[in-house]
């Protein structure tokens, strides 16, 4: 549907549609051809590029919005409109009447380039950023407003929300780097179907031109004007056809000077559907990557400061033994008693999904055919009687010279009689077609997915103290908890600079992984989201509809053709009909106009046999035309007759208020004079209405949406089944039935705490580490890998992570919504259980000797390696040998000095042991004055 309303004199409407979202795939580019861009491109390393940006910021002439044209006015207008979620670019422009003059100034491009360089330098620089950087970014976006506003203030495109436009990314120009690797060449992309798209654009443009004032019109009698063909584009209108459309017309062999516009559109429409359609172009996630190496930005203000300098005292412990602890349970079996206890654990889950769709459609159409035979008899009788009777008697006499007489009697008798009888038969066939069609369509889809997961574990515990198995006395079984006993020792590693961290919910990532397990499942590709290309019915076009139908397996109807031809014919006369006298005839036709179309124009061609000057009048609604053949449009026949075949009649019907809802009747009246034998062929051109196109869009979108939802349900069912199978396999395999070893849990704890500490130091969440690119196979960017390697090495080597010390605080320091699951969490390893339940943790990490100045420099300036940006060489005191890193990770001695005497540390466990006899455990002191107890060996 075009943006313009159709030129219907009776039905006019405006369709309201939601604002189109801003295309995030088109960020706002910074100015590319500036001296700063060339300097950054010529920099051979990251440190040189940072130095160039820092020097530019120090010498910049722009320090804030006040240094730019209308800067303060634009910032104030944006601040005023930010609170209005519906504010558009037109609202902003209305508050800035001088924006057009400012953009027309001679020095405006230079000012925009200077602002672009300032923003580009702010990205690469390590400090000295200008104040109000966000306001400067908004100013640049306003300066680069698209020319979508017409001079009179009306928009040429749908209104764009101000918040969406200000949210567009600023994309730096591509800077070629000497130190950047070249990625593998991309796969050749399939060229889009330009021919089909060009035909679509041409059809849309011609439909907009189908207006009465742009077409050649017939004369007052419905005939063609001299030198023109009715319903073709006027000369002026043809000049306004765009060049691409003219190229398409020329390629398809369509000449608008001699081809009526509806015929031209129909030819292009037919040619379009002969071409193969294209698939759906699914948008890919937009990843706006800045040129150069992307590393986390330097923290604006350090959140962590050294806690001080002190001796690094590390507490080490080693498990020595297990000892019996308190009694867990006592089982008593009396003499002659038999106990049998079966433990059955069953876990069962069942899921059933039922989808049912039922559609019933009933259509009844009646078409009745009636044949009528009429016999007309015409009789005439004429009787003439002429009776003359006479007899001849003649007397004459003469008396003298003056009297003379004559007497004559004539009797004549004549009789004539004439009888004429005329019989004419006429066969008339009236068609009121009658048929009965009943179509009932019922679609019932029932899909049931039953997923049953059942795990059953049965153990039989039987005690028999009777009969042949009896002992003759009572039996007592004592179950005793076990404690782990560690030997603990404090070691002094010398003077260190300490950093103290408070980490909230240190096991948060472990909880996330537990709730979102990663299973070894080869999942099928998920259906593409329909909303990506067609959020609602207003976005639907015919090409997109058929591509989506093929994608989702939907059955849809084709879009109604732009024009429809309704043909009808009328004739009069019988074989050897006489043309004597002044014959005349009249006929009435009722043409059915399909729903969704309106009659637009008509043309008629006639044939008539006459011995005079025939005239045929045609009336369609309020439009009339006279068919009056000229001498040039006749062929002489025998008997003084002529066959007339010219001219053609043309009628424009757009002014008539015809019904547009259901199938309507279009009345056609035909009156002929001075011809008894004639035939008239009539063709009515009906145009598709905007309402019909909207109905097609809505109906098609509903079918596509239903098919898409079916594909989503199928995909979800497959994924659920695959996941259930994978979970069942994992449960069967159960590679770690007793949990992970405590040493593995310790490594997990220290890794998570190290991640949190580095994140607090750098104030980043590891989003910028993307040296490896997704491809087949994956590859990594060389320059990105080098820069990220320098960043990683600094934080891995600047601290002695193997000497990390931590204390976990209880669950109630976590989010209150997680209290229940933390409190009820169970784990065999007590330290790991404390980690999982912890609401917060205190972590103390020492800086590596010699790195104190480098760490302090980073906290103050955000620069790594003392401002060098690159790892030190071997001769540098900060260089850490890889052998030293391996020794630290494997726990090799490092000259630590024990402090004080070691002591035993008991840690309770959930393990239970049955004592070999029924004696109760006892403990005793190791010394009378010591508060240290050990199990009594005699017990």
As given in the structure block, the two tokens for residue 649 are 């009649």
Cβ neighbourhood burial of 584 (10 Å; 0-12, 13-18, 19+): middle
- Chain centroid to Cα 162, Å, comes to 22
For tokens 């620069």, the residue is 863
Indicate the helix (H) or strand (E) that contains 776.
Answer: none
As given in the structure block, the two tokens for residue 614 are 């025939």
Instruction: Tell me phi and psi for residue 438, to 5 degrees.
Output: -125, 120
The pLDDT, as a whole number, for residue 88 is 85
- Which among 511, 500, 364, 509 is positioned nearest to 440, based on CA atoms? 364
Q: Tell me which residues of the chain have a pLDDT lower than 70.
A: 1-26, 44-47, 126, 147-158, 174-194, 284-293, 345-456, 517-521, 654-663, 728-739, 938-939
Residues contacting 562, CB < 8 A, separation 6+: 203, 207, 262, 265, 266, 269, 687, 688
Long-range CB contact pairs, 149-158, < 8 A, 24+ = 149/89, 149/90, 149/93, 153/90, 153/93, 153/94, 155/90, 157/20, 158/17, 158/19, 158/20
C-alpha dihedral over 213, 216, 217, 219, to 10 degrees? 140
How many CA atoms does the CB half-sphere of 323 hold within 13 Å?
20
Whether residue 369 contacts residue 388, with contact meaning beta carbons closer than 8 Å, is answered with no
pTM of the model: 0.48
- Which among 631, 621, 639, 628 is positioned nearest to 678, based on CA atoms? 628
Residues contacting 126, CB < 8 A, separation 6+: 50, 53, 54, 298, 861, 862, 863
For tokens 């970014």, the residue is 137
Q: List C-alpha distances in Å: 937 to 484, 903, 931, 933.
A: 17, 20, 18, 12
Residue 548: how many CB atoms within 10 A of its CB? 25
Q: What is the CA radius of gyration of the chain?
A: 50
User: How many secondary structure helices (H) and strands (E) does the chain include?
Assistant: 21, 29
**Cα–Cα distance, 552 to 713 (Å, whole number):** 12
B/e letters for 140-161, b = 16+ CB within 10 Å, e = fewer, are: bbbbbbeeebeeeeeeeeeebb
Whether residue 419 contacts residue 382, with contact meaning beta carbons closer than 8 Å, is answered with yes
The pLDDT, as a whole number, for residue 878 is 82
Whether residue 564 contacts residue 594, with contact meaning beta carbons closer than 8 Å, is answered with yes
The residues with which 420 forms a beta bridge, in sequence order, are 380
Indicate the helix (H) or strand (E) that contains 112.
Answer: helix 108-124
Instruction: Tell me phi and psi for residue 42, to 5 degrees.
Output: -85, -10
The pLDDT, as a whole number, for residue 352 is 61
As given in the structure block, the two tokens for residue 571 are 């004739």
Indicate the helix (H) or strand (E) that contains 787.
Answer: helix 782-797
Whether residue 414 contacts residue 386, with contact meaning beta carbons closer than 8 Å, is answered with yes
Helix (H, G, I), strand (E, B) or coil at 675: coil
Rounded (5°) CA angle 473-478-481 = 175
Inter-axis angle of helices 742-762 and 782-797, nearest 10: 110
The residues with which 626 forms a beta bridge, in sequence order, are 617
């Amino acid at each position: 549907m075009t943006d313009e309303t159709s030129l219907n004199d009776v039905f006019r409407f405006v369709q309201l549609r939601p604002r189109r979202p801003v295309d995030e795939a088109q960020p706002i580019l910074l100015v590319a051809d500036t001296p700063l861009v060339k300097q950054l491109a010529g920099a051979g390393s990251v440190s040189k590029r940072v130095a160039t940006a820092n020097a530019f910021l120090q010498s910049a002439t722009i320090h804030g919005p006040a240094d730019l044209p209308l800067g303060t006015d634009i910032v104030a207008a944006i601040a005023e409109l930010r609170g209005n979620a519906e504010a558009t670019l037109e609202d902003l422009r209305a508050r800035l009447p001088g924006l057009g003059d400012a953009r027309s100034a001679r020095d405006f491009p230079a000012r925009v380039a200077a602002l672009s360089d300032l923003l580009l330098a702010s990205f690469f620089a390590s400090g000295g950023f200008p104040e109000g950087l966000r306001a400067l970014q908004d100013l640049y976006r306003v300066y680069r407003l698209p020319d979508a506003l017409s001079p009179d203030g009306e928009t040429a495109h749908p209104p764009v929300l101000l918040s969406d436009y200000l949210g567009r990314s600023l994309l730096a120009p591509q800077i070629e780097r000497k130190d950047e690797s070249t990625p593998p060449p991309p796969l050749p992309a399939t060229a889009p179907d330009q021919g089909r798209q060009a035909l679509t654009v041409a059809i849309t443009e011609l439909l907009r031109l189908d207006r009465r004032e742009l077409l050649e019109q017939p004369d007052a009698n419905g005939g063609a004007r001299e030198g023109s063909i009715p319903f073709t584009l006027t000369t002026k209108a043809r000049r306004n056809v765009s060049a691409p459309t003219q190229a398409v017309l020329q390629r398809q062999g369509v000449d608008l000077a001699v081809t009526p516009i509806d015929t031209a559109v129909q030819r292009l429409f037919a040619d379009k559907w002969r071409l193969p359609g294209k698939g759906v172009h699914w948008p890919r996630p937009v990843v706006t990557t800045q040129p150069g190496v992307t590393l986390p930005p330097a923290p604006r203000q350090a959140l962590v400061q050294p806690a001080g300098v002190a001796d690094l005292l590390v507490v080490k412990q080693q498990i020595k033994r297990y000892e019996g602890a308190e009694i867990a349970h006592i089982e008593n079996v009396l003499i002659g008693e038999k106990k049998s206890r079966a433990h059955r654990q069953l876990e069962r889950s069942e899921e059933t999904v039922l989808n049912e769709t039922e559609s019933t459609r009933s259509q009844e159409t009646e078409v009745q055919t009636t044949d009528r035979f009429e016999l007309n008899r015409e009789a005439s009788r004429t009787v003439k009687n002429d009776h003359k009777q006479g007899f001849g008697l003649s007397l004459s006499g003469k008396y003298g010279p003056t009297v003379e007489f004559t007497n004559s009697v004539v009797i004549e008798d004549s009789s004539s009689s004439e009888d004429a009888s005329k019989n004419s038969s006429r066969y008339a066939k009236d068609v009121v077609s009658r048929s009965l069609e009943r179509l009932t369509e019922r679609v019932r889809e029932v899909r049931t997915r039953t997923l049953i997961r059942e795990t059953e574990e049965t153990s039989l515990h039987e005690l028999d103290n009777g009969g042949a198995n009896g002992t003759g006395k009572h039996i007592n079984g004592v179950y005793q908890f076990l404690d782990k006993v560690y030997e603990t020792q404090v070691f002094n590693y010398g003077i260190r600079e300490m950093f103290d961290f408070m980490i909230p919910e240190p096991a948060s990532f472990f909880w996330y992984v537990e709730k979102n397990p990663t299973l070894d499942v080869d999942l099928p590709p998920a259906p593409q989201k329909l909303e990506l290309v067609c959020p609602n019915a207003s976005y639907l076009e015919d090409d997109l509809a058929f591509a989506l139908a093929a994608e989702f397996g939907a059955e849809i109807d084709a879009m109604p053709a732009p024009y429809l031809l309704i043909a009808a014919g009328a004739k009069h006369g019988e074989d050897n009909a006489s043309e004597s006298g002044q014959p005349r005839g009249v006929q009435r036709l009722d043409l059915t106009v399909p729903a969704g179309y309106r009659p637009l124009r008509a043309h008629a061609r006639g044939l008539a046999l006459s011995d005079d000057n025939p005239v045929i009048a045609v009336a369609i609604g309020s439009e009339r035309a006279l068919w009056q053949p000229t001498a040039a449009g006749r062929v002489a026949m025998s008997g003084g007759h002529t066959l007339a075949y010219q001219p053609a009649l043309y009628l424009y019907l757009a002014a008539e208020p015809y019904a547009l809802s259901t199938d309507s009747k279009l009345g056609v009246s035909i009156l002929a004079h001075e011809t008894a034998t004639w035939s008239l062929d009539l063709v009515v051109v009906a145009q598709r209405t905007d309402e019909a196109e909207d109905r097609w869009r809505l109906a098609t979108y509903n079918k596509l949406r239903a098919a898409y939802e079916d594909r989503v349900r199928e995909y979800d069912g497959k994924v659920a089944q695959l996941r259930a199978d994978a979970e069942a396999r994992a449960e069967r395999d159960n590679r770690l039935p007793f949990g992970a070893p405590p040493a593995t849990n310790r490594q997990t704890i220290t890794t998570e705490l190290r991640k949190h500490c580095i994140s607090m130091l750098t104030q980043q969440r590891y989003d910028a580490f993307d040296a490896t690119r997704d491809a087949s196979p994956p590859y990594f960017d060389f320059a990105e890998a080098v820069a990220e390697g320098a960043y990683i090495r600094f934080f891995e080597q600047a601290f002695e992570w193997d000497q990390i010390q931590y204390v976990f605080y209880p669950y109630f320091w976590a989010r209150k919504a997680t209290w229940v699951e933390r409190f009820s969490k169970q784990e065999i390893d007590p330290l790991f259980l404390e980690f999982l339940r912890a609401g917060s943790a205190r972590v103390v990490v020492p800086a590596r000797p010699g790195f104190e100045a480098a760490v302090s420099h980073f906290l103050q300036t955000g620069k790594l390696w003392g401002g060098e940006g690159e790892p030190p060489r071997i001769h540098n005191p900060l260089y850490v040998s890889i052998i030293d890193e391996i020794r630290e990770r494997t726990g090799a001695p490092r000259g630590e000095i024990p402090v004080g005497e070691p002591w035993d540390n008991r840690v309770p466990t959930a393990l239970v042991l049955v004592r070999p006899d029924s004696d109760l455990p006892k403990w005793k002191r190791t010394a009378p004055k010591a508060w240290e107890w050990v199990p009594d060996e005699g017990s």
